[in-house]
Structure 1
Amino acid sequence: MKRKTSCFRIFLILFLILSGGIVGCRAEATSAPTVESPPQPPTEPIATVIPTAILVPTPAPTLNAILQEVEGGVEAKEEIDVDFSIAENGTLLHEDGQIRTLEDGYTRVDLSTGTLIRMAPLSYFTLVSNQPKNESLLTRIKLEVGQLWVVLNGGSVEIETPAGQAAVRGSYMMVEIDPETQEILIACLEGYCELENAAGIIQMVSGQRAKFNALELPIIEAMTERDFAEWLFFVPEAQEIFPLLQELGILPWEDWERFLPDEDGILPDLDELFPDGGGLPGGGLPDPPGGEGLPDPPNGVSLPNLPGG
């Protein structure tokens, strides 16, 4: 019995020894040797590129115009056209387009900026451009001959003439070119107007006028009765400002309503009301639409003298 017990103990000891060796061999076989990695160079931080918005200036809207209230002889052409064509209500013109009125022609020109221009007979001008200026919009027009009334609606308008530039910053300005002397008459009905020629710059306010040439600064004077009456005759939009001008004491008369059309739409005759003129030398304009007739052009002006004819 003791011998069996001793054999069992010996067998158990051998079993334990062999089991430990096998486990150790498996551990050595499964454990991978530790390999040291070579030192890595320090890495630089990767810069993150964040796209930034590029501010592209907003281009000024292109200048165009629509003709309305066309009466009598009115012609227009685009820059690419060789000849003028008869204009009608709704005629559209773009930058560098040209408009001219004949002896009996009247029209209203509605600019894309909201500003409107009234043209007298025997007038001719070119739409030049729109350009940003002082966080606003500057519209440029080139007047070759004739007379324009500008009713500004935002921004400013600059009119180039043979003697210099006339600009209105707000809100009503008339420009007329003497066809013989090329002298320029500016009448600033309301707001601020500016004249510039080779001699310098002058500014005018409501109720002032000036005649100037290319080389001398003009003398500023008060608008004449005829100047005011022409606004009532040819520019119905100006009637809205006359009560204010009356309150400010700028009008030369209190009963300005007598110059408005009568019940039949007939306007008084300017030459009868103001026989001594009151505008540029050589007489005044023909009767406006609805008058008794159209006399010959003043100062001998004829259609062939119009540029582009």
Structure 2
Amino acid sequence: MTEHDKMLMLKKMCHADGFIAALDQSGGSTPKALRLYGIKDDAYEVGEKSMYDCIHKMRARIMTSPKFNGDRILGAILFADTMNREVEGLPTAEYLWKKKNVVPILKVDKGLEAEKDGVQLMKPIPNLDTMCDAALANGVLATKMRSVINQADLSGIKQIVEQQFDFGKQIMAKGLVPILEPEVSIKSPEKQEIEAMLRAELMENLKLLRDDQKIMFKLTLPTVDDLYEQLVTHPNVVRVVALSGGYTRAEADALLARQHGVVASFSRALTEGLRDDMTEYAFDTLLDTSIGEIFAASKASGVKKELHAHK
């Protein structure tokens, strides 16, 4: 990736209308994604390769659809297996940027630890530097990593935020933009309290960054509207995006439209209703509707007007 491409990607991610398509289901979530797509477990052979062949075919169908392009989509989050494959004869990340004007993003986490102190930290990422090197070589701008908060335990929330920022600093040192995703479970009866505690910890950790260190946040749609306004306008933050987190697309769109400056980064809500046995017309029509609704909700929430380092 040239410095010019990086500048264009960063400008698009910061200023353009649109949302991020999360196409990064990994080993644990892939079978469920395939079932929702209409592919049963017995339709592919036992083993990761056959399963990933199926999910890549699904993702490639989405990415190659004429309805999937940079007019409404800012970026796409990829699982490493997807990044290492090709779409229409090009490496996936190159295809996204060169053919679709969509910024490629790489999921780098290795899954979750067992719950402790009300949270699930990320498992260690011993090869993070190597993954970052591969991402750069493939023309990827940013990375994403997810952990989960289930209870309003301040000790656990502090651990979650510290781990996210520690990995984030390692990623920034490699020249990539980290997307920190400390997801708050929408099933938690303490969701509103958790979100207030999380915001406070995120703001405290942002104070420790240098002016040239730029990050993004991917956060659960909050119970209190505009809870993350301070993050949206913070000079170190490129963008705040929201995950659908188990809400239906209609619910997620309605909540998102009330969060000013926040845009979507939806996975299941984006692919809701898409099926393997659909005709191309039916597939493209439904995908167009999904993209249109999510784009409208993201645009209604408002685009961040200024990022000091990229004026």
TM-score of the aligned structures, taking structure 1 as reference length = 0.30
In terms of fraction of residues, the more helix-rich structure is 2
In terms of fraction of residues, the more strand-rich structure is 1
TM-score of the aligned structures, taking structure 2 as reference length = 0.30
